[in-house]
């Protein structure tokens, strides 16, 4: 059986750690690519990672490169390229620079791996995945943003910490844009099958949700010189696994919604069935009134972000 080929564009912390998770879980053979200015850096990281395989007991080929030809015919391409947030910088501050970067990457991926599924990780996420699909021209189902898995993981972590329970027993869902307008779904949150609203007050739950919304910024503030990468990379690897193993997992991703939820043609975080073809299905839930209002507010913010990006790209 042919191994999946997984290319990770961007060999920084998120990209290299994504390669690490994917290789250690033997999801396929990995190509780790960075810009020519990086010189031999991606080769060094790939070789270092390969040398850990006899110790950790995984068998995946890992190649570092600056040449897109080495990524040809990938099954999955993960785009982490772009500048990272610095303290005091919002995701929106990254908009213009990263839009240009991911546009260049999308052109290369379309030329070298036209049948791949693309997972976009670069921020600001909702706008970047929209831009990648626009440039590469792939069917919407084959261009997906990684956001919901990470956001939900942060939410689940904070709930487990608050309640003193295993994260394995926390089931939760967040929807909407990746950032300050993400939408908690108390109706879809439970601890060992017990609705979270029976265990926490509305006020305390909102405080936890707010921490989840600001989870990335909290880590940026603590690190001082970088941004989160372990959890974003782990979330990305989970999506890669769902695709290469055709697991049809129901997880939240930034997926293209037109008539779904009345979004009208934008990428936003929604629950999807993720499998070998990318987004197999967008799962539409009946939202409660407050959830519906919050989701609309989040979609409005995504639409505004995309409009700003389009203006910046048009004038550059």
The catalytic position among 5, 178, 213, 249 is: 178
**How far apart (Å, rounded) are the C-alpha atoms in residues 172 and 169?**
10
Q: 40 preceded by cis ω (within 30°)? A: no
**How far apart (Å, rounded) are the C-alpha atoms in residues 136 and 106?**
5
* Active-site annotation holds for 178: yes
**How far apart (Å, rounded) are the C-alpha atoms in residues 138 and 112?**
13
On whether the CB atoms of residues 130 and 91 are closer than 8 A, the answer is no
Give me the phi and psi of 191, to 5 degrees please: -120, 105
**How far apart (Å, rounded) are the C-alpha atoms in residues 102 and 177?**
19
- Contacts of residue 174, defined as CB under 8 A and 6 or more positions apart, other chains included, come to 148, 151, 152, 155, 182, 183, 184, 185, 212, 252, 269
Give me the phi and psi of 284, to 5 degrees please: -95, 125
In eight-state DSSP terms, residue 256 is E
**How far apart (Å, rounded) are the C-alpha atoms in residues 103 and 276?**
24
Which residues are the active-site residues?
Answer: 178
């Amino acid at each position: 059986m042919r191994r999946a080929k997984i290319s990770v564009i961007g060999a920084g912390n998120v990209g290299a750690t994504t390669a690490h998770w994917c290789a250690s879980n033997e999801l396929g053979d990995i190509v780790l690519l960075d810009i020519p200015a990086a010189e031999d850096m991606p080769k060094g990281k790939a070789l270092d990672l390969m040398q850990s395989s006899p110790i950790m007991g995984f068998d995946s080929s890992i190649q570092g490169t600056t040449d897109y030809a080495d990524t040809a015919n990938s099954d999955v391409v993960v785009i982490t390229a772009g500048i990272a947030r610095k303290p005091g910088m919002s995701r929106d501050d990254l908009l213009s620079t990263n839009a240009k970067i991911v546009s260049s990457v999308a052109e290369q991926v379309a030329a070298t791996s036209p049948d791949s599924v693309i997972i976009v990780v670069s921020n600001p996420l909702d706008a970047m995945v929209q831009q990648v699909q626009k440039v590469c021209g792939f069917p919407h189902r084959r261009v997906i943003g990684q956001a919901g898995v990470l956001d939900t993981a942060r939410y689940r972590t904070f709930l487990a910490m608050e309640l003193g329970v295993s994260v394995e027993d926390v089931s939760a869902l967040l929807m909407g844009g990746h950032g300050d307008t993400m939408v908690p779904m108390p109706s879809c949150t439970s601890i060992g099958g017990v609705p979270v609203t029976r265990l926490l007050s509305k006020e305390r739950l909102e405080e936890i949700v707010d921490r989840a919304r600001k989870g990335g910024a909290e880590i940026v503030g603590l690190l001082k010189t970088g941004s989160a990468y372990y959890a974003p990379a782990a979330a990305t690897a989970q999506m890669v696994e769902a695709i290469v193993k055709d697991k049809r997992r129901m997880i939240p991703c930034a997926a293209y919604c037109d008539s779904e939820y009345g979004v009208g043609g934008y990428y936003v975080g929604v629950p999807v069935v993720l499998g070998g073809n990318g987004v197999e299905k967008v799962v539409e839930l009946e939202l409660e009134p407050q959830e519906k209002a919050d989701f609309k507010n989040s979609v409005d913010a995504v639409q505004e972000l995309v409009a700003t990006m389009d203006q910046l790209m048009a004038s550059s």
